[in-house]
């Protein structure tokens, strides 16, 4: 990590990262649109961007000079892991060099049955200076990722895996976040269902280094649905 990257990472402390993503089936799927979305997020006060795919990240780079958490979402047959699951996705991301690369850090096996430990060892051997974020779904997974040496521990997948399907990050005043913060050494990035300014402020108060907010800012179909459903239930 060079000095410029270090300064960008330091500037994230206590700040907001906005996730600018749209999958192929979504109305805003377009690298052009994600670049403008990132510019809008920066104008609103975001200090970092989380983005999916090499193409979107390249476009975002043309619009904002903010640190980026990069991922590639890709499905593999018979595999539950879809966030940066193989070296192929890592290599793609390194072509555009996001400051941080995030990957699934759950107990689920990667393609070809590879464990997280095996995969992360290979990735670090190839790219020893790159910063990595662990997308976890449980406190135990966070502790495991911390021991493996991930630079950042994220709560991204809480509630999205079989082992966490009954959990929500914001439950009981962010109990899982508080547990993770108390058990790991590396910086924690709060992510998932942080859908109000009050929740964002709270996760920072509880010790998160910074926080990622996505759908409630950048997915208009999700935002619209929340408003429309209120009228449908009356």
For 189, residues 6+ apart whose C-beta sits below 8 A from its C-beta are 17, 69, 133, 152, 153, 154, 155, 208, 209, 210, 211, 212
Measured distance CA(123)–CA(87) in Å, rounded: 7
**Cα end-to-end span (Å), the chain:** 54
Measured distance CA(21)–CA(26) in Å, rounded: 10
Residue 4 has pLDDT above 90, yes or no: no
Supply the pTM of this predicted model: 0.97
| Nearest by Cα to 157 from 118, 116, 129 | 116
Residue 234 has pLDDT above 80, yes or no: no
pLDDT in tens, 55-112: 999 999 999 999 999 999 999 999 999 999 999 999 999 999 999 999 999 999 999 8
pLDDT in tens, 213-233: 999 999 999 999 999 999 986
Structural domains of the chain in order of their starting residue, each with its CATH number: 3-232 (3.20.20.70)
Contact of 20 with 218, CB cutoff 8 Å? yes
Task: Give the burial string for 95-127 (b: 16+ CB within 10 Å, else e).
Answer: ebebbbbbbbbbbbbbeeebebeebbeebeeeb
Residue 193 has pLDDT above 90, yes or no: yes
pLDDT in tens, 109-142: 999 899 999 999 999 999 999 999 999 999 999 9
Query: How many CA atoms does the CB half-sphere of 166 hold within 13 Å?
Result: 1
Percentage of the chain lying above the pLDDT 70 cut: 99
Measured distance CA(230)–CA(234) in Å, rounded: 7
Which region, left, alpha or beta, applies to residue 46 given φ > 0 means left and ψ of -120 to 50 means alpha? beta
Average pLDDT rounded to a whole number, residues 14-25: 97
Check residue 90 and give its pLDDT.
Answer: 98
Check residue 3 and give its pLDDT.
Answer: 83
Q: What's the alpha-carbon Rg for the chain, to the nearest Å?
A: 17
Residue 1 has pLDDT above 80, yes or no: no
């Amino acid at each position: 990590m060079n000095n410029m990257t270090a300064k960008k990472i330091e500037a994230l402390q206590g700040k907001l990262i906005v996730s600018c993503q749209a999958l192929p089936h979504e109305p805003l799927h377009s690298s052009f649109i994600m670049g403008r979305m990132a510019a809008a997020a920066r104008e609103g006060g975001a200090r970092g961007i989380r983005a999916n795919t090499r193409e979107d990240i390249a476009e975002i780079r043309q619009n904002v000079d903010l640190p980026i958490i990069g991922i590639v979402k890709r499905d593999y047959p018979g595999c539950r892991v879809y966030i940066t699951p193989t070296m192929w996705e890592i290599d793609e991301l390194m072509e555009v060099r996001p400051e941080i690369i995030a990957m699934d850090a759950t107990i689920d096996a990667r393609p070809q049955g590879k464990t997280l430990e095996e995969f992360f060892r290979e990735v670090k051997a190839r790219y020893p200076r790159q910063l990595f974020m662990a997308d976890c779904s449980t406190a135990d997974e966070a502790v495991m990722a911390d021991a493996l040496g991930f630079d950042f521990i994220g709560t991204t997948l809480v509630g999205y895996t079989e082992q966490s399907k009954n959990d929500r990050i914001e439950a009981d005043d962010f109990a899982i976040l508080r547990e993770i913060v108390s058990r790991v050494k590396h910086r924690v990035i709060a992510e998932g269902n942080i859908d109000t300014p009050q929740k964002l402020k709270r996760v920072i108060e509880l010790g998160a280094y910074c926080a990622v907010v996505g759908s409630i800012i950048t997915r208009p179909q999700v935002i619209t649905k929340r408003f429309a459903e209120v009228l449908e239930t009356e």
